[in-house]
Amino acid sequence: FMQIARINSVDVGVGSSVRKAPALVQSTFKVTKVSGYWNKTMTLYGTQFGQTKAKPLMTISYNYNGYGDPKGYGTTTVSTINGSTTTVVQKQVCTTSTVDNFNNL
pLDDT digits (tens, 9 = 90+) for 18-68: 777 766 777 788 887 777 778 889 999 988 777 889 999 999 998 887 776
Q: Respond yes or no on whether the N-terminal peptide bond of residue 56 is cis (omega within 30° of 0).
A: no
Number of domains within the chain? 1
Residue at 57 is within a domain:
yes
- Print the domain residue range for 49: 40-93
Q: Is residue 102 part of a domain?
A: no
Q: Give pTM, 2 decimals.
A: 0.62
Q: Is residue 101 part of a domain?
A: no
DSSP string, 17-52: --------------------SS-EEEEEEE--TT--
- Round to whole Å and give the CA distance between 19 and 24: 16
pLDDT at 77 over 90: yes
